[in-house]
A and B are shown apart, each in its own frame.
Chain A
Amino acid sequence: MKTILSSEQLHLTIQRLSHQIIETHFPFSNTVLIGVQPRGVFLADQIAEHIRSLYPAQPFEYGKLDITFYRDDVHKELHVANQTLLSFSIENKHVILIDDVLYTGRTIRAAMDALLDFGRAGKVELCVLIDRRFNRQLPIQPDYTGKAIDSILSQKVTVNWQKPEVVLY
């Protein structure tokens, strides 16, 4: 077991990601943040909270997207569905998808399919906490990366939000 991000490092990384998003998107007039269910929402919650604390007078849309019904492995493994909460239109919006670990890219593929069913976004960006950069099975790359790591298929990256820390098994 190896710690990739300690509590302090994780805190700093979330702050940096928030600032990078602010730098590109302020004042959020056409930008929406969407956390990918279930685990991406923990990161998205923290980023949204941090941006709000920095710019309380600058509201932005924030939603949650469940991708269970868009997965390509329904017959291999059945996942329990989570809530989708998109109370706004994404038509022509600049969407920032937020997830915790980018691995094979299949979750993000499903998320983009799911997103299409809600309208035609102007642009879609991807923000991830951990990028397992050599394990991709689809041509998908993040726009905002907390930390890129090298890992092999048999290893497992876990973000523990209770502690909080990121570990590699």
Chain B
Amino acid sequence: MQLSTRHLLGIKDLKQEDIQLILDTATQFKEVLQRPIKKVPSLRDVTIVNLFYENSTRTRFSFELAEKRLSADTINFAASGSSAAKGETLLDTVNNILSMKVDLVVMRHSASGAPHFLAKHIPASIVNAGDGINEHPTQALLDAFSIREKLGTLQGKKVAIIGDIMHSRVALSNIYLLKKMGAEVTVAGPPTLIPKYLQQSFGVNVSYNVEETLKWCDVANVLRIQLERQNQPLFSSLREYNLAFGISRKLLDSLNKEIVIMHPGPINRGVEIDSDVADSNQSIILQQVENGVAVRMAVLYLLAGKRSDS
């Protein structure tokens, strides 16, 4: 049993069996993380570079912990403080790092498609840790793992993705994955933050009414407003956004059912989600973070096993 791909560039390229294999392997890694010694020697001969051209806390730490718990050697790269600031190109930087015998590249970049470009030009396997507004596959995998853990399955579950769909790589990866695994998806938010043709291209429902969407769903995945990617005003103010599209306690209490609240982080409290929702028992936000390490261990383990084929 193997992954059908050498890289994890996006959920788009994965088959249903690949997703199943990653989630099942992650289940076993989650057990490893409960042990007194939370570490296995699987990748002790593998060296991984974490190439972060864009800011990250959770994802970078999560990957680094996953690598260390697989016994891989790791080196970290941040764009600021590196030769990238001196004008070195992406390909040159990576080729220089690879010449030091690095086997796997974990990469985040603000340009959509950067890891796909790299995959065409270098021999190492690449894990996309978020590229621009395209995909963030490991986030979607850990979201799916968390939903499966909470509700038993993804098949037939109703998942709402609420917020800045337009600029969210988490949304796109989640849509691909949930549709492949047989879940129903509704995206909700202001019309200016939902791309046109989403319904036709991906078979998801589109709603501009958060209350109705919450009534429909089993799980609500709430996304941050990505102000750093918006170069024109798309809604009048954060306060107004909160009133119209924010998830409040009052709104959840009016539903007469308990839905699961998720958020990929970082949270902007009082904007897309209120504190008493984010910190409630309904929220599995911190479990998502915990599961992230196990899921990333599974991805790295399965990709490292793929190396010998090439």
Given A71-B42, A79-B1; 12 other pairs, CB 8 A cutoff: A69-B40, A69-B42, A69-B70, A75-B308, A77-B305, A78-B306, A80-B1, A81-B29, A84-B28, A114-B40, A117-B39, A118-B35
| B36: interface (CB < 8 Å) | yes
**B41 lies within 8 A of A69 (CB):** yes
Residues of chain B lying within 8 A (CB to CB) of residue A66: 28
Judge whether A113 and B35 touch: CB under 8 Å: no
**Chain A positions within 8 Å of B40 at CB level:** 69-70, 114, 117
Please give the distance in Å from B236's CB to the nearest CB on chain A. Answer: 51
Is A117 within 8 A of B37, CB to CB? yes
In whole angstroms, how far apart are the Cα atoms of A80 and B25 in the complex? Answer: 7
- Please measure, in the bound complex, the distance between the C-alpha atom of A74 and the C-alpha atom of B302, giving whole angstroms: 9
Q: Quick one: given A74-B42, A118-B35, are A80 and B305 in contact (CB under 8 Å)?
A: no
Interface size class of B (residues with CB under 8 A): 20 to 34
Residues of A within 8 A of B36 (CB): 117-119
Shortest CB-to-CB span from B297 to chain A, Å, is 9
Interface centre among B1, B41, B306 (most CB of A within 10 A): B41
Cα A80 to Cα B22 in complex, Å, equals 10
Nearest A residue to B2 via CB reads A78
Residue count of chain A within 8 Å CB distance of chain B: 21
Given A69-B32, A70-B42, A117-B39: A81 touches B25 (CB 8 Å cut-off): yes
Best-surrounded residue of A69, A76, A82 (most CB of chain B within 10 A):
A69
On chain B, the residues within 8 Å of A83 by CB distance are 28, 31
Query: Which chain B residues border A68 with CB–CB below 8 Å?
Result: 28
For the complex, give the distance between the alpha carbons of A123 and B62 in Å.
37
Output the nearest chain B residue to A114 by Cβ-Cβ distance. Answer: B40
A-B contacts, 5 of them at CB < 8 A, read A75-B307, A80-B21, A80-B25, A118-B36, A119-B36
B98 sits at the interface (CB 8 A) = no
Interface residues of B in 229-280 (CB under 8 A from A): none
Q: Which of B32, B37, B43, B305 contacts A78 (CB 8 A)?
A: B305
B24 on the interface (CB 8 Å rule)? yes
B48 at the interface (CB under 8 A from A): no
Contact among B28, B41, B302 for A113, CB-based, below 8 A: B41
- Shortest C-beta distance, A167 to chain B (Å), equals 25
Given A81-B28, A117-B39, CB of A74 within 8 Å of CB of B305: yes
B176: Cβ under 8 A from any A Cβ: no
Distance in angstroms between the alpha carbons of A76 and B37 in the assembled complex: 26
A75 to B44, CA, bound (A): 11
Q: A78-B1, A84-B31 are in contact. Are A69 and B301 (CB under 8 A)?
A: yes
The distance from the CB of A82 to the nearest CB of chain B, in whole angstroms, is: 7
Distance of A77 Cα from B304 Cα, bound (Å):
11
Q: How far is the CA of A80 from the CA of B24 in the complex (A)?
A: 9
Q: Bound state CA distance, A82 and B28, in angstroms?
A: 7
Q: Closest 5 A-B residue pairs measured CB to CB?
A: A78-B305, A69-B40, A81-B28, A117-B37, A75-B308
- Alpha-carbon gap, A118 to B29, bound state (A): 15
A113 CB contacts on chain B under 8 angstroms? 41
Asked whether A81 and B24 contact (CB < 8 A) given A69-B42, A74-B42, A117-B37, the answer is yes
Structural contact, A117 and B35, CB atoms closer than 8 A: yes
A75 touches B41 (CB 8 A): no
Q: How far is the CB of B248 from chain A (nearest CB, A)?
A: 41
State which residues 41-84 of A face B: CB under 8 Å.
66, 68-71, 74-84
CA–CA, A68 and B29, complex, Å = 11
| Complexed CA–CA distance, A82 and B21 (Å) | 12
Interfacial chain B residues near A114, Cβ < 8 Å: 40
